[in-house]
Amino acid sequence: MMALRRIDPVGLLVLPAVLYLGLVYGLPLLNLLARALVIDGVPSVAGFVKFFSDPFDWIVIGNTLRIAVLVTLLSLAIGFPTALALARARGAAQALILVAIILPLSVGVVVKAFAWQIVLRRDGVVSQALVALGLWDEPQRLLFTEAGLVIGAANVFVPFMILPIYSVVKLIDPRLGEAAATLGAAPGYRFFRVFLPLALPGIVSGIAFVFSMAVSMYVVPNLLIGDRFQTLATLTGRSFLLMRNEQLGSTTAVVLLVLAVSVVVASSALSRRFGGQS
């Protein structure tokens, strides 16, 4: 009774979410873990040993991490300035940028990926632009290349970089920059010593969002690069759907889960350590 009474009634509000997640997410996850760790009814790590001893699987892990990191970096490079512009814009301009960011989210990944197929073709816009700028000697196909995958995936995920950064940056008091200026800080110093530390929590959550989505994306690589290039997510899909190898599928899924969760946990720890406001 005493223990019960100490529970904050407001805390009970999370109950529906806990039940829902527990049923549709927690239980299947346990099931997945069980399949990865139980072979023929006996607990065993043989599946993981086999997985990590195959050089091909290390290439898949490498592919997954490399693509996720590159997509995250490209999203950051595009998303950070956009978030600043969005935070500074007023009225109609701000509404327009917000719509431009949020509207594509409602289009759906498949449609967007098909659009990118057109853009990344040998005679597509990107190729033609690079030739016109003199960066390329002749048109090249970006579709079904890693570069094409990174460009396309960043396009899909960049709103999830922009929005958390924007929501933090718009709360930064502009007086702080002015105060720093009157104290003798040049623009670069103000950016790195005042603006960036205060924007960091937003940057970190943007990175966590985009990385965890990019590391586990399935549809986009399927449409933009195809079967020759495997990531942990596509390999998991193939194992279950094509090869009917539940053991391998569960193992890759667990590896992927551990990777994604550790990045999110590490980034939020970093944010707490360095973030000024939170």
Partner 1 sequence: MTEAAARDPGFLSIAAAEKHFGPATVLDGVDLAVGRGEFVSLLGPSGCGKTTLLRIVAGLVRPDRGRVVLDGQELTRLPPHRRDIGVVFQNYALFPHLDVAGNVAFGLKARGADPAAIAATVARNLALVQMSAYADRSVKALSGGQQQRVAVARALAVGPKLLLLDEPFSALDRKLREAMQIDLKRILREVGTTAIFVTHDQDEALAMSDRIAVMARGRIEQLATPAEIYARPATPFALGFVGLSTRIPGTVQAAEAGLLTIATALGPIRARGHFLPGSAVLVGVRPERIALGSGAGDATGPAGPAGHNAIRAALADAIFKGARVQLLFAAPEGAEVQVEASSLPAGAAPGALLDLTWAVDDTLVYPAAEAGPQDLEAVA
Report, in Å, the least distance between residue 173 CB and partner 1.
Answer: 6
* 88 touching partner 1, by CB under 8 A: no
Binding mask of the shown chain, residues 184 to 203, with x at each position contacting partner 1 by CB under 8 A: xxxx-xx--xx--xx-----
Report, in Å, the least distance between residue 92 CB and partner 1.
Answer: 17
Report, in Å, the least distance between residue 8 CB and partner 1.
Answer: 24
Report, in Å, the least distance between residue 193 CB and partner 1.
Answer: 7
Q: What is the DSSP string of 74-88?
A: HHHHHHHHHHHHHHH
* 181 touching partner 1, by CB under 8 A: yes
Q: Which CB atom, from 22 or from 276, has the smaller least distance to partner 1?
A: 276
- How many other CB atoms are there within 10 angstroms of residue 86's CB atom? 23
> How far apart (Å, rounded) are the C-alpha atoms in residues 82 and 203?
12
Residues 194-253 that bind partner 1 (CB under 8 A): 194, 197-198
> How far apart (Å, rounded) are the C-alpha atoms in residues 260 and 257?
5
> How far apart (Å, rounded) are the C-alpha atoms in residues 94 and 100?
10
> How far apart (Å, rounded) are the C-alpha atoms in residues 13 and 82?
36
* 179 touching partner 1, by CB under 8 A: yes
> How far apart (Å, rounded) are the C-alpha atoms in residues 53 and 15?
42
* 262 touching partner 1, by CB under 8 A: no
> Distance of CA 200 to CAs 172, 240, 274, 278, Å?
11, 39, 8, 10
In the list 19, 31, 178, 272, the residue contacting partner 1 (rule: CB under 8 A) is: 178
| Positions in the binding site for partner 1 (CB under 8 A) | 173, 175-176, 178-187, 189-190, 193-194, 197-198, 275-277
